DNA sequence: AAGGCGGGGTT
DNA sequence: AACCCAGCCTT
């Protein structure tokens, strides 16, 4: 494109951009990649402590490839979208086995790695290798939708395609690493979702939304839908030695691959929990102690969690098989646990008050 | 083409 | 309480 978009952006970036994020140090493709995956749908301030701990534990792609999946998931615990962690682990093994432990500097090849899509591949190409590639993350979508007054919700395919065209057109051939960081920084620091600081924006003179005084129209908002409400019993089962029974979730779906508490269909009443434990888990238990419930919200539904504590009186070893395992509390807390389950195991009563 | 997939921060 | 966030994958 022949306008001054990239030049103005780069001049602004030199003065005001973020040059000191953790993944900007010791920059290599591995660190860039991990940061990009963590940053998918996750804010920078949330990611930083996870990134530091992850790099301490898995300094290289080989360390990651050789690690047990449980170890990877435990370092992801609380970050959400756990398929990212499983895909990251799988891709690390792909890099080692198919590319000799070196990240390919080709966008198409990067996109063959599990969990790397068009934008993330481009970010790695630009940030790690400083080669030309166009990214389109949430920040860039917002900047471009406003600059070009692109109507509609970016989740819609046609809108997304239009934004990709603008993204490709603006991406310069020189200083791509800086440009990529610059346009994300502008979206995060100036062209913010609410109350953008248009007076500080290097693109303000040519921004169509600004010219029309229609900042709030772009990008178009997602059509809203009511989230369904679901309910489940969650059992805190303790044996006579103080261990807790955990159940590994199926590899896909909600909390895939994580350790959680055994669940019972909410159709059962409190008075049926003992019998349900006996029938489904083979465990004889004392009277359940009810803990007040709470609601956990996912991106697409609400889950009412009704926790109950039961002490196992009979033989506990029968349940220690397949996906079910007994853990001492301290050990359990080192596992990959969903955030509300971690909270429930740590402070059951406090969690219930939330 | 649309929906599944978390958890936290912001308003 | 609703919305968004350095998106990708499956259906």
Window 132-191 of chain A: CB closer than 7 A to strand B? 155-158
Query: Distance (Å, rounded) from C-alpha A19 to C-alpha A3?
Result: 25
Q: How confident is the model at residue A169 (pLDDT cuts 50, 70, 90)?
A: very high
**Is A309 in contact with A291 (CB distance < 8 Å)?**
yes
**Is A353 in contact with A292 (CB distance < 8 Å)?**
yes
CA A352 and chain centroid, separation = 25
Percentage of the residues of chain A whose pLDDT score is greater than 70: 98
Cβ of residue A293 lies below 7 Å from strand B: no
Cβ of residue A42 lies below 7 Å from strand C: yes
For the A5-217 domain, the top CATH level (class) is mainly alpha
Which sequence spans correspond to the domains of chain A?
5-217, 229-353
Helix axes A176-189, A138-147, angle to 10 degrees: 80
Query: Distance (Å, rounded) from C-alpha A344 to C-alpha A177?
Result: 43
**Cα-based distances in Å from A84 to A24, A37, A104, A158:** 21, 7, 20, 26
Cβ of residue A115 lies below 7 Å from strand B: no
The superfamily (CATH) of domain A229-353 is Nucleoside Triphosphate Pyrophosphohydrolase (3.90.79.10)
SS3 annotation, A54-94: HHHHCCCHHHHHHCCHHHHHHHHCCCCCCHHHHHHHHHHHH
Query: Can you give the pLDDT at residue A318?
Result: 76
Interatomic separation, CA of residue A240 and C1' of nucleotide B4, rounded (Å): 40
Q: How confident is the model at residue A20 (pLDDT cuts 50, 70, 90)?
A: very high
Peptide bond into A219 cis (omega under 30): yes
pLDDT in tens, A89-134: 999 999 999 999 999 999 999 999 999 999 999 999 999 999 999 9
Report residue A347 as tokens.
């402070």
Query: Distance (Å, rounded) from C-alpha A283 to C-alpha A314?
Result: 7
Strand C nucleotides where any atom sits below 7 Å of a protein CB: 2-9
């Amino acid at each position: 494109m022949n306008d001054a978009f990239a030049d103005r952006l780069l001049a602004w970036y030199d003065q005001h951009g973020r040059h000191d994020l953790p993944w900007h140090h010791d920059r290599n493709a591995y660190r860039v990649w991990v940061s990009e995956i963590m940053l998918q749908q996750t804010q920078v301030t949330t990611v930083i402590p996870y990134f530091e701990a992850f790099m301490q534990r898995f300094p290289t792609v080989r360390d990651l490839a050789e690690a047990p999946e449980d170890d990877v998931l435990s370092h992801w615990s609380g970050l959400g979208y756990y398929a990212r962690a499983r895909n990251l682990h799988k891709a690390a093994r792909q890099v080692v086995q198919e590319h000799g432990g070196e990240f390919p500097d080709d966008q198409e090849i990067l996109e063959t790695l599990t969990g790397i899509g068009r934008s993330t591949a481009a970010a790695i190409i630009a940030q790690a290798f400083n080669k030309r590639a166009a990214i389109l993350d949430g920040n860039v979508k917002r900047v471009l939708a406003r600059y070009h007054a692109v109507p509609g919700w970016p989740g819609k395919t046609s809108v997304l395609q239009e934004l990709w065209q603008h993204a490709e057109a603006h991406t310069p051939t020189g200083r791509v690493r800086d440009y990529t960081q610059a346009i994300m920084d502008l979206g995060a620091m100036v062209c913010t979702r609410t109350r953008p600081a248009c007076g500080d924006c290097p693109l303000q003179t040519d921004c169509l939304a600004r010219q029309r005084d229609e900042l709030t129209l772009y990008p178009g908002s997602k059509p809203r839908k009511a989230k369904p409400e679901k309910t489940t019993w969650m059992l805190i089962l303790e044996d006579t030695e103080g261990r807790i029974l955990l159940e590994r979730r199926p590899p896909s779906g909600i909390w895939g691959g994580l350790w959680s508490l055994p669940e019972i269909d909410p159709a059962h009443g409190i008075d049926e929990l003992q019998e349900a434990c006996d029938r489904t888990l083979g465990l004889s238990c004392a009277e359940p102690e009810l803990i007040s419930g709470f609601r956990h919200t996912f991106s697409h539904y609400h889950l009412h969690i009704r926790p109950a504590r039961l002490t196992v009186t009979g033989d506990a070893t029968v349940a220690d098989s397949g996906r079910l395992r007994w853990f001492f509390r301290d050990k359990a807390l080192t596992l990959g646990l969903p955030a509300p389950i971690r909270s429930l195991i740590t402070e059951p009563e406090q969690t219930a008050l939330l």
